[in-house]
Amino acid sequence: MNRIDRCFERLKDESKKGFIAYIGAGDPNLESTKNITLELAQSGVDIIELGVPFSDPLADGLVNQLAAQRGLQSGTTIEGVLQTVKAIREKSDIPIVLYIYYNLIHRRGLEDFIQTAAKCGVDGLLTLDLPPEEADNYELIMTQSGMNSIWLIAPTTPEERIKIIAERGSGFIYYVSREGVTGMRQDVVTQLKDRVDIIRKYTNLPIAVGFGISTPSQVRQVSADCDAVVVGSAIVDRIGKDGQNPSLAVEIGSFTKELSSGLR
């Protein structure tokens, strides 16, 4: 069983909600990415999303754009990210999802990238700018590799398209809780339960909610209506500020443990 599926089975058995942490790969460098991931695995995080740095991250707000820029400046490449995942696998079984733009996959070669990622220990891909309707070959290769195809659903997605996306996904559905790009917010989106209920009509997959969640109280509020909460920009912002701290991984682990306390 895929590690993501196994993780959600465990959470369901324990009647718990999941905590998914997003960090930018290569920010401030790939060694730090490995160390932070291993620390997060010990700090209550259930799934890691690794953002693969890209020069034109259209779905991301300023905080994550700057993380991508720092990742590129540190010399991070696709191969470097995959080798970092491989190194993490020597010490941890935490599920890992690559948050990636399709051009990076296309340039490497679809089948080669997916098969290599799976061999290195990646459990799923969240390919931001690939429409599910154009992903038949992608999904076939993903299934053959044993990886999950994770799709986004937005607040503006019409119900007929929610049905299409939800039926094609695997692992979990990522519901973007608000319009626009990634980034920290002061308030929690309203009508979340109504939208999640619509998605549940078309899938039994777990539903994770992200975009804009940045405090323990927000984690607690959002978790009432979904199966997992995704926090990214708040963690990435802290990495950006403390990037030169020799105790960076421990600091990020402590900060993330504080955020995930909203689930307990």
Q: Please tell me which residue in 60, 123, 227, 237 is annotated as part of the active site.
A: 60
Q: What is the mean predicted confidence (pLDDT) over 218-235?
A: 95
Name the residue among 220, 233, 188, 225 with its Cα closest to residue 208: 225
Does the annotation mark 49 as catalytic? yes
Burial 9-23, CB ≥16 within 10 A → b, else e: eebeeeeebbbbbbb
The model's confidence at residue 181, banded by pLDDT at 50, 70 and 90, is very low
Does the annotation mark 225 as catalytic? no
What is the value of pTM for the model shown?
0.94
CA atoms within 13 A on the CB side of 136: 1
Q: Please tell me which residue in 46, 49, 123, 237 is annotated as part of the active site.
A: 49
Per-residue pLDDT reduced to its tens digit, 142-169:
999 999 999 999 999 999 999 999 999 9
Quote the tokens at residue 236.
Answer: 């990435």
Per-residue pLDDT reduced to its tens digit, 113-142:
999 999 999 999 999 999 999 999 999 999
Domain ranges of the chain: 3-263
For the ranges 8-17, 54-63, 99-108, 191-200, which has the lowest average pLDDT?
54-63
Which backbone phi and psi does 202 adopt, to 5 degrees?
-115, 5
Per-residue pLDDT reduced to its tens digit, 44-87:
999 999 999 999 988 888 999 999 999 999 999 999 999 999 99
Architecture of the structural domain at 3-263: Alpha-Beta Barrel (3.20)
For residue 114, give every residue at least 6 positions away whose Cβ sits within 8 Å of its Cβ, in sequence order, or none. 105, 125, 138, 141, 142, 145, 147
What are the residues facing 49 on neighbouring strands?
A: 22, 97
Name the residue among 248, 223, 219, 217 with its Cα closest to residue 232: 219
With a pLDDT cut of 70, the percent of the chain lying above it is: 95
CA distance 17 to 14: 9
